[in-house]
Amino acid sequence: MPSYPLNSLVLYKTHPARVLRTGDKLEIALHSGKTQKIRPKDIILLHPGPIHSLSELTAQQGEEVELVWELLSDETSANLPDLAELIFGDFTPATAWAAWQLLADGLYFSGAPEAIQARPANEVAREQAARQAKNAERQAWASFLEGIDAGKISPEDRRYLKDVEQLALGQSLKSRVMRYLKRSETPENAHALLLKLKYWDYNQNPHPVRLGLITSPPQASLPKLPAEDRADLTCLPAFAIDDAGSADPDDALSLDGNRLWVHVADVAALVPPNSAADNEARTRGANLYLPEGTLQMLPAAATAALALGLAERSPALSFGLDLDKTGNVVNLEITPSWIKVQRFSYAEVETLLADNPFRNLHQLAVRNQARRRQNASIEIDLPEVKVRVKDGQVAIRPLPPLQSRNLVKEAMLLCGEAVAQYVRSKDIPLPYSTQPPPGDYETHDGLAGMFALRRAMQRSQLSTIPGPHAGLGLEHYTQITSPLRRYLDLVAHQQIRNHLKGHALLGVQEIMERIGAIEALGNLRQAERLSNKHWTLVYLLQNPNWEGEGVLVEKQGRRTIALIPELDLEIRLRLPGDIPLNARISLRAPKVNLPELDVHFQVF
């Protein structure tokens, strides 16, 4: 073990130190000015001294380091005194420390004080390139941070915002940039920063991705439609009634005397259980309807081949419902079919309700709605709007309570009720939709009453066990009429198709697994709600001088909730005085916080 003279220069944990006392343990003076007792094996001797103060270790001027490196490159090794003398012309505590720093730097030399080697030229070149790149990156990062402070960044700086974007989209929980800025690492804060720096604009809707939904198109391939016997119902006029511009009509209606035909796109003919398309649809759960467009659960080829009315004749699974005078279903026929479909919008049918067959369809709907009301069905009448985005501009239009819309709704409910009764009698496992009665709530007139009723409604539930649906006023109900748009409707079609053909059915456990998979995607509807609110606030940003009316629908002390019918938007307000429910409030000049989905209005 080497000896350590008093006042010698030693290395302790990468820092210089001076030996003050010797013995079994050494006492050293540290660069911080403190003293410490240590074991001899914990230090390395750099120079025997004497050095009376570490302040003597001043910067040294000497030969070019590269010249010494080239000189030593042919030598096997040198020691620290040799290196100090070659570079600085002398071996003193100060030059010993300067030589050690060059060795520790590791660019030109490697080894230990007693055996120092010159690094190979190729290694030095690589290390120099790496250091230059690191220094350039450090300067670029500093420039980027200066740009943030100024609220403006260059195109080259955008790469640093990738982790901020991942945080804003819910794809990461951390962001180096947000930590440096000492901002909470939340998706909302990240969104706000991206807007400030114009990395995102208002048209970036983060909510579907943030909620973990799949936003890429389905990729599964589909087979050709199989050859099979189908009832020829093309002689019956069939009407697909939907919103104007709908691209995936999957149900249509016909009347044949006292029989109501509900024709539904025969999706299970191409998408059997556990096929690639079925598995892919299960991961999506349903079509995702966003103001900026629709993300479908099935490949586009499914719509092209199966949507009703897109071809001269369409394959369908047709449900023939025989009705008695009171509107009850007394018989149900289910058959694969060919149909010929005429497409109408709700607005078009609204002008034709005085003429048959729409007059008879409308009367059928009114009768069924009255029957459900006798069974204590619940009707919630609140404003609805359609939010659409085209070329970055948001349009919001009201959805009037058209009788034609009710006509289609009641026919679909009749079909779902009849199928639920049928499969129950045949012991066919199927996803049933049930709903408990609403909880207690205060009754009010007008929109306030409807708002309170909606709040009191309990969530509908999916189960393989049939039960009442309080909201619909039905003893049993299953959703069956949208297999292009909802996965569990497709599952119901798969079961019914296999039942008709005498094929094996999915068991109760398999149906429950599919229900569980869809319930795990509960954020699908949440993504639609948040997206609608996002674009509604963008609409207000695009129309900063907006003025309109709100209706007071709930009071919580001085805090109140108002509903803006024109926008279908709930807002919280602080209102002076005792303003009654259903009072109309004039609003203007919205102040929008888009990342937080928050908006404040002036009351005037």
Same-domain pairing of 446 and 368:
yes
Mean pLDDT computed over every residue of the chain = 94
What's the structural domain count of the chain?
4
**CA–CA distance, 254 with 232 (Å, rounded to integer):** 13
Residue 182 and residue 264 share a domain: no
Residue 326 has pLDDT above 90, yes or no: no
Which H or E element spans position 491? Answer: helix 487-501
* Token pair listed for 41: 């094996």
Confidence of residue 442 (pLDDT cuts 50, 70, 90): confident
Report, as an integer, the average pLDDT of 426-430. 96
pLDDT at 75: 67
Please, which pLDDT band fits residue 403 given cuts at 50, 70 and 90? Answer: very high
pLDDT at 63 over 80: no
Residue ending a domain, choose from 498, 527, 556: 527
Claim to verify: residue 13 and residue 140 sit in the same structural domain? no
Distance CA 106, CA 123 (A): 10
Q: b/e string for 77-113 if b means 16 or more Cβ within 10 A?
A: ebebbbbbbbbbeebbbbbbbbbbebbeeebbbebeb
Q: What is the pLDDT of residue 577?
A: 74
Q: What is the mean pLDDT of residues 130-149?
A: 92
534: in domain: no
- The answer to whether position 594 is within a domain reads yes
Task: Please give the pLDDT value at position 25.
Answer: 92
Radius of gyration from C-alpha coordinates of the chain: 38
User: What pLDDT is recorded for position 327?
Assistant: 82
298 and 352 co-located in one domain: yes
pLDDT of residue 87: 94
pLDDT at residue 151 is higher than 90: no
Lowest model confidence (mean pLDDT) among 70-79, 93-102, 473-482, 543-552: 70-79
pLDDT recorded at residue 591: 95
Residue 441 pLDDT greater than 70, yes or no: yes
559 pLDDT more than 70: yes
Considering the domain architecture, whether residues 395 and 462 belong to the same structural domain is answered as yes
Report the C-alpha dihedral over residues 163, 166, 167, 169, rounded to 10 degrees: 160
Do 233 and 252 touch, CB atoms closer than 8 A?
Answer: no
Mind listing the pLDDT tens digit for each residue in 327-358?
889 999 999 999 999 999 999 999 999 999 99
pLDDT in tens, 3-13: 899 999 999 99
pLDDT of 250 above 90: yes
Closest CA to 278 of 499, 518, 604: 518
For 64, other C-beta atoms within 10 Å of its C-beta total 9
Its sign, for the CA torsion 339, 344, 350, 351, is negative
**Which two structure tokens, joined as six digits, stand for 142?**
């500093």
Which has the closest alpha carbon to 588: 546, 539, 537? 546
Q: Tell me, what CATH number does 560's domain have?
A: 2.40.50.140
Q: How many angstroms separate the CA atoms of 408 and 351, rounded? A: 15
CB 176 within 8 A of CB 195: no
The residues near 87 (Cβ < 8 Å, ≥ 6 apart) are 62, 63, 65, 68, 95, 98, 99, 102
Structure tokens at 81: 């005194």
Same domain? For 180 and 244 the reply is no
Q: Please tell me the predicted confidence (pLDDT) of residue 245.
A: 83
Is the per-residue pLDDT at 557 higher than 80? no
| pLDDT of residue 80 exceeding 80 | yes
Q: What is the mean pLDDT of residues 382-401?
A: 95
Q: In which band, very low, low, confident or very high, does the pLDDT at 511 lie, cut at 50, 70 and 90?
A: very high
**176 and 36 in one domain?**
no
* Residue ranges making up the domain that contains 143: 131-200
Distance CA 546, CA 90 (A): 82
Considering the domain architecture, whether residues 403 and 297 belong to the same structural domain is answered as: yes
CA 479 distance to own-chain centroid: 26
- pLDDT score for 1: 58
